[in-house]
A and B are shown apart, each in its own frame.
Chain A
Amino acid sequence: MSATSSLSRRTFLRHSALASAAVAFPAVLPARLFGQHAPSKQIAVGIIGVGGIAQIHIDTLLRFSEVRIIAVCDVDRTHRELAVQKINAYYENQDCAQHADFRELNRRPDLDAVWVCTPDHWHALPAIDAVRHGKDVYVEKPLTLTIREGRELVQAVQQHQRIAQVGTQQRSARNFHDVAEFIRNDGLGTLERIEVLIPANNKYCGATWQPEPVPAGLDWDFWLGPAPWSPYTRQGCHYNFRYNRNYAAGQVTNWGAHYIDIVQWALGMDRSGPVEVSGHGEYPTSGLFTTATKVDFTCRYANGRSFRCRTRYDGVYDGNLRFYGARGWLDISRNALRASDRNLLREVAARDKKIQLPSSANHHDNFLQCIRSRQQPISDIETGHRTTTACNIGELAMLLGRRLKWDPVKEEFVNDPVANRLRQRAMRAPWSLV
């Protein structure tokens, strides 16, 4: 028999079809941000990449009186102009600037922070450029496309002493926090196994595709950026980029970045990671999309704990996480928290656990507060890199079809030179991590 918690915070903003990457943010904003309690100095924000996911960030940031969005950047003129229209309409002025090149935006001296909401292959370069130019950064998940990019970004943030928040906002949701904290305190007793479900690739195309004329206003060469050259085709660009290995790693990093992130948190692995990974994936043999359509891999940690990440086929476009321990099981997703025993739910919600994890009630607000305090945010850059790495080594184990041993200290595979080469990719000129 299982028990279900009535969510104490049914606070997720919305599940937008536009943003079906299913990023959801708490709708309740802190009262101190409005009216007479608003901080006097506004935080000037620029947004790089104003496509699907950025719409949610814009909607959320506009509601913070301590924030002013003063510039946006996109290589698609339509995205740029629609974003500027929305922002100017809200502020009732014409002040928001638009840029077609992120380097121009990052060099603006009037910006405090930059949101990086580009496709995955365009996360590392704008973020590194931003911190080099003194900006704090909020980087959407997955943090980077490759493991090498992730380490480079971490080093840049540390070298330039910037604040960086990763868009793994489930850490700012009460139930995910409480479950992670409960597991960290061995609340389930001896932990036996962890099951992670992620949605299936929800888009399909045929075995062939046709190159198409580039739409007016889209700088396709810039959109490709560091990725290998390819002709334009509509399904290979906005949103569906995530199903092409040149630009992303499919649902493994799209949803895995959220749910594996909670596993890493619960297991206390934010500065480490698995030591072994094995699995099997099914990849399309032809057609535009090249990421795994069926995911099944298992990561094992040095302490013997492990998680298995699989594709779910029940049509639910959300992940799911279930911990099995000696005292029963806990099951959490974005809209439900269930347990094998109602008493476990009470214990999960208790505030008196011995080990207390950092908490945040709002992912954006947490970042904004840290910009002022210079403290580390709830999803700091190293944490995001380690979570993305766990996702990426799982994807590589499926791609190579063999068990891989991973050294989380050296961040290299053990005795597998082919796998090690796949930790990084060259970039199309003129782009590089330099």
Chain B
Amino acid sequence: MSDAATPGAPVDPEPAARTPFDEHYERYRATPDPWQELAKLEYGADRSYATTVAGLINNAEPAQRAGMEKKLLAVLIRSDCTAAARAFVCQMLARIGTAACVPALAALLRDAATADDARFALETLPDPAVDAALRDALSSLAGPAKAGLIGSIAIRNDKAALPALQSIAQDAAEPALVRETAARAVARLNRPAATS
């Protein structure tokens, strides 16, 4: 029997109050919400709720993706969101994220502990807001995390970052890893468009 109302059937304008049977039956009818369960994901544990979410995202019609992006962001800001869940959410945002997710990810981007997750979401997102967020994070990160960030900026071919990258490449205070990555990024961004 379907959960949905029969098409064409009269609709009760004032649904009846819940009965003791309704309360009793709801305990059988309810199943976990994979979007809620997702926040508890742990490395090595059952990941079937995450798989369900990934399947929903992969199969979503374009019009459904914005709603799913909101659900992913809701997981991301939960206080009990695990590291594994955060990484998974960011990898899903890499597929369907829009400018709407950039503010939340920009906050993660400025913390070295979560910057990689944020870049996994942002690097493939074609929106100018991403480039601005990546450039802004340059002053927040250091060492390997900063080198990774520079890599994302260059892969996105963000020529507006050139002045900042040129400065980093010549900054003796930066570690060699960062300076060298910045120098390669500058060379890449300066090369002719046909090879970018």
Interface residues of A (CB under 8 A from B): 155, 159, 207-211, 228-231, 233, 283, 285-288, 399-402, 417-418, 421-422, 424-434
Interface stretch (choices B5-13, B19-27, B41-49) = B41-49
With A399-B58, A429-B144 already in contact, the answer to whether A228 and B91 are too (CB < 8 A) is yes
Nearest CB to that of A396 among chain B residues?
B58
Nearest CB to that of B44 among chain A residues?
A209
With A286-B48, A433-B155 already in contact, the answer to whether A426 and B124 are too (CB < 8 A) is yes
B111 touches A (CB below 8 Å): no
| Residue pair A430, B120 in contact (C-beta under 8 Å) | no
- A328–B52 CA distance with the chains assembled, in angstroms: 45
One of B94, B120, B122, B150 near A432 (C-beta < 8 A): B150
| Residue pair B124, A430 in contact (C-beta under 8 Å) | no
B85 touches A (CB below 8 Å): no
Q: List 12 A-B contacts (CB under 8 A).
A: A208-B46, A211-B43, A228-B116, A228-B120, A231-B44, A285-B47, A287-B47, A418-B95, A418-B96, A434-B181, A434-B184, A434-B188
Q: Which residues of A contact B44 (CB under 8 A)?
A: 208-211, 231, 233, 288
- A229–B144 CA distance with the chains assembled, in angstroms: 14
Q: A406 to chain B: closest CB distance in Å?
A: 17
B31 touches A (CB below 8 Å): no
| Residue pair B46, A432 in contact (C-beta under 8 Å) | no
| Residue pair A400, B58 in contact (C-beta under 8 Å) | yes
- A421–B181 CA distance with the chains assembled, in angstroms: 24
The 7 A-B residue pairs with the shortest CB-CB distance in the complex, in nearest-first order: A432-B151, A429-B148, A430-B147, A426-B123, A430-B144, A421-B124, A434-B154
Q: Which residues of B contact A285 (CB under 8 A)?
A: 47-48, 51-52
* Contacts A401-B59, A430-B145 supplied; 11 other A-B pairs, CB < 8 Å: A209-B44, A211-B43, A228-B91, A230-B43, A286-B47, A400-B59, A425-B124, A426-B123, A430-B143, A430-B177, A432-B152
Q: Which residues of A contact B101 (CB under 8 A)?
A: none
Chain A CB within 10 A, most for which of B115, B147, B148, B195: B148
| Residue pair B151, A229 in contact (C-beta under 8 Å) | no
Chain B 68-111 against A: per-residue CB contact (8 Å), 1 yes, 0 no? 00000000000000000001000100111000000000000000
Chain B 23-63 against A: per-residue CB contact (8 Å), 1 yes, 0 no? 00000000000000000000111111001100000110000
| Residue pair B87, A286 in contact (C-beta under 8 Å) | no
- A431–B44 CA distance with the chains assembled, in angstroms: 25
Q: Which residues of A contact B124 (CB under 8 A)?
A: 421, 424-426
- A430–B43 CA distance with the chains assembled, in angstroms: 23
With A211-B43, A231-B44 already in contact, the answer to whether A433 and B58 are too (CB < 8 A) is no
- A241–B155 CA distance with the chains assembled, in angstroms: 26
| Residue pair A432, B48 in contact (C-beta under 8 Å) | no
| Residue pair A229, B87 in contact (C-beta under 8 Å) | yes
B185 touches A (CB below 8 Å): yes
Nearest CB to that of A283 among chain B residues?
B51
Q: B107 to chain A: closest CB distance in Å?
A: 17
| Residue pair A434, B195 in contact (C-beta under 8 Å) | no
Q: Which residues of B contact A402 (CB under 8 A)?
A: 59
Q: Which residues of B contact A286 (CB under 8 A)?
A: 46-48, 51
With A207-B46, A429-B115 already in contact, the answer to whether A401 and B58 are too (CB < 8 A) is yes
* Interface members, chain B 106-159 (any A CB < 8 Å): 115-116, 119-120, 122-126, 143-152, 154-155
- A231–B45 CA distance with the chains assembled, in angstroms: 12
